[in-house]
Structure 1
Amino acid sequence: MKNAILVVLTVVLSCSISADVFDNWNEKYNGLVKDYVKSSTVKGIKGNYVDYKGLRSDKRVNQLRTQLASLPSLSSLPRNKRLACWINYYNFLTLHVVAKNPGLKGLQDLNKPNKNVWNQSVGKVLGSSYTLDHIEHKIIRKYFKEPRIHFALVCAAVSCPNLLNEAYTANKLESQLQSQLRAFALNKKKGINLDKNGRVLRLSSLFDWFKDDFGGNSKKWLQNNKIIPSYALNYKVEYLNYDWDLNALPGKN
């Protein structure tokens, strides 16, 4: 009996310690985005933009990158906590890539002839080297099956959804994802633009690129989620131009 109790206590203590490690990283990341992600208007598009200049000189960036590499496995954590962590890791690594490359017009400036920026290693997570594409497509999309991640993952472009200026957390994840979806949908210049007169539904290209994640029918998915009215299902769909310019605050790249 004593041995059984000891095993249970050991497991509980181990899980508690692991949770604290992840929570501590997320709290530090939370402080970083609160300090450097601000509301502004760039090229006529209102949204959240990043002070990369300030970020570049903040010691917390390298500290977070080093700590991220040494975090233990996420496998024992609940689903929402794992998903929140992976979203935070993707967004942080994207911020880090831009911060260490001053003067970028857009993330695609880092493309190489046979390897675009999303397929280049961006650092270590949990002891292994990752690319942004691997995190997005082979972990988040593959294992979590959550379409709203497309409004949470931010690839540092003007037409991307807003970078949330707080960390994603397990207990707030549902409300955060829903809020991100609605904020993106309400942004007529990069999310959704409903033209009643022309009977045209203009959507972000995200709804085209990831159509399968939205059940193969983005219009129906949006209507089911009460984002567009049912009459818009009969509208012609056009896709908004995607602006890949950097999501930097003016003068802060």
Structure 2
Amino acid sequence: MDILTHTMTGLAVGTVAAGFSKKSWFMKSKYILAGGFAGALPDVDTVSLWSKFDKYFGPFFQLENSGKHIYSAKFWYSHHGFMHSLLAPIVLLCILALIVAVIKIKIPTIKQIRKTISLLTVFVLGYWAHLLEDMPTPSASWGGVNFFWPSVEYTGGWGKIWWWNNYDVFIFISAIVVFNLLILALSSIMKFKAGRLCLSIFVLGVTLSVWQITNRAYDFNVASKKHGYAFCEKKSKEIQREVLGKRIYTWMVALDNKIKLNF
């Protein structure tokens, strides 16, 4: 799925955590931003598609394969490899903690860890949300994502949706973020508990997204092998036009064309 939807999903996770938090708005904003950052982070493994990857990364890491080959291969550092695993966010946080400990020459205390456990949990959940969203995309050369790394088995790749143009899902996820931010703002003014309401909005939005994904009634795995990417891209947009209607679809295409990312 596209990076924007992944990021918005991470933000949505953060808004739920912020809803249950009794801390300051500054801390709540940290939850939201941490979720958004984590939601986008797994796709850092697409760096191998960077035009200058072979020039800089190849010699530095003494890589035998080109970035393009690495991207579609099944190395641990390929796209949908280690960075798309359950363990990845935990390993990354451990590395970060080690770096901080070395810089400060001080091991974090249990009390310090407890203070950040909620923030770290949001990060992990936002990260995992990305992995789940990649499950219904086509299997391509990987056969899913390396969900249970270091296992060599890949999970997902169901072909329920195309890689991009899932405007309906993006709208639902974005709505979660917008509504929850509004609820958080109102709760600070009217002094009511926002947690359960934010969670309800999140569950509703995710449920609608899952329903849309599972009711595409089209197999993009078969289509991509038989007709190629261009055909699937066109078919994905046709489905969106049927689902959203001409007006909303036109708005989303216009937005898509303005954003210099695969969306």
Higher helix share: 2
Higher strand share: 1
User: Shared topology, TM-score over 0.5?
Assistant: no
TM-score of the superposition, structure 1-length normalised? 0.30
TM-score of the superposition, structure 2-length normalised? 0.30
